[in-house]
């Protein structure tokens, strides 16, 4: 059991250390039409707040407001956007198209 806990802890920490950083994915020319209202809120509700919902989640990291997402956008990107797919765990995560859309949205500052 301790070995499993250690593996999970290492994976959680290293997940923030490995992957394509947000700096390697510039905001597309012309920006993005996506906003928190028409994309971000729904994406995070669907895939993230179950665990990252503040007092209601399993993680101390909360992604329940656009401000909290903007403050953590580098970490979110490296774990869930573009070709980074360590979060959310499990088979019911976002499609590659959704991850690419998240990458553009975060790279443009999460408007």
Cα dihedral 80, 87, 45, 53 sign: negative
The helix/strand count (H/E) of the chain reads as 5, 0
pLDDT by residue, tens only, the chain of 111 residues: 443 333 344 344 444 457 899 999 999 999 999 999 999 999 999 999 988 987 766 778 889 999 999 999 999 999 999 999 999 998 899 999 999 999 999 999 999
Distance, in Å, from the CA atom of 54 to the CA atom of 96, rounded to the nearest integer, reads 26
Alpha helices in the chain (DSSP H): 2-15, 41-47, 66-71, 73-80, 96-107
Q: What is the CA radius of gyration of the chain?
A: 14
């Amino acid at each position: 059991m301790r070995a499993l806990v250690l593996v999970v802890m290492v994976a959680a920490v290293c997940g923030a250390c490995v992957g394509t950083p947000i700096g390697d994915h510039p905001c597309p020319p012309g920006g993005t039409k996506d906003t928190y209202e028409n994309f971000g809120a729904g994406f995070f509700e669907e895939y993230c707040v179950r665990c990252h919902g503040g007092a209601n989640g399993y993680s101390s990291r909360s992604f329940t407001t656009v401000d909290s997402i903007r403050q953590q956008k580098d970490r979110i990107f490296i774990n869930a956007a573009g070709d980074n797919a360590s979060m959310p765990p499990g088979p019911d995560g976002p499609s590659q198209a959704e991850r690419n859309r998240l990458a553009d949205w975060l790279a443009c500052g999460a408007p």
